[in-house]
Amino acid sequence: MVRTSGLILIGYWDGPNTTPGWPRPERFVDTTWDVDDRDMVADYLARGHVVRAYMGYSDYRLCGERNGTLELTDGTFVWPEGLRHYVVEHTLRLPDRFVEHVRTRIEGLETAARDEEWWRTQ
Ligand SMILES: [Zn+2]
């Protein structure tokens, strides 16, 4: 089931064009983070459903490159498509709550029972 309300926002940062109170990406840099966990989260962030497309670009806080314009969701969390860039290119480690959510979601899908009957009867 995919929830469509109450999405938990992650990956928006403090910057020159934002309202105050967002986290600063520098605080999340962790070059020692487990490579497999980083890859798992990076892949997951690339596979969200598009919920919104913004007009115009924003810039990455840490390098000034042009960020994406899409907002993605998995039905629980919602994040800007550029969040993956921070994880991959700037070695940000996202909070454990999100990492464990990703792990649980992936493992749940990989081990889920499969109902083949419906499709066989089409
Ligand atoms: Zn960058």
117 within a domain of the structure (yes/no)? no
Is 81:72 a contact under the CB 8 Å cutoff? yes
Q: Which domain holds residue 106?
A: 8-111
Q: Is 120 inside a domain boundary?
A: no
Give distance in angstroms: CA of 42 to centre of ligand 1.
14
**Residue 14 counted as domain residue:** yes
Pairing of strands 77-80, 8-9: parallel
* Domain assignment of residue 15, yes or no: yes
Q: Provide block-wise average pLDDT over 10 residues at a time, the chain (122 residues).
A: 75 85 95 98 97 81 86 96 96 98 97 96 96
Work out whether the CA dihedral 75, 59, 22, 103 comes out positive or negative: positive
Tell me whether residue 121 is in a domain.
no
pTM: 0.87
Q: How far is the CA of 70 from the centre of ligand 1 (A)?
A: 16
* 11 closest CA partner among 105, 103, 74: 74
Query: What is the reported pLDDT for 2?
Result: 54
Residue 5's pLDDT is: 63
pLDDT on residue 30: 98
Domain count of the chain?
1
Torsion, Cα 103 105 107 111, to 10 degrees, reads 180
- How far away, in angstroms, is 119 Cα from ligand 1 center? 44
In this prediction, residue 54 carries a pLDDT of 82
23 part of a folded domain? yes
Say if 27 falls within a structural domain. Answer: yes
Three-state DSSP string of 67-96: CCCEEEECCCEEEECCHHHHHHHCCECCCH
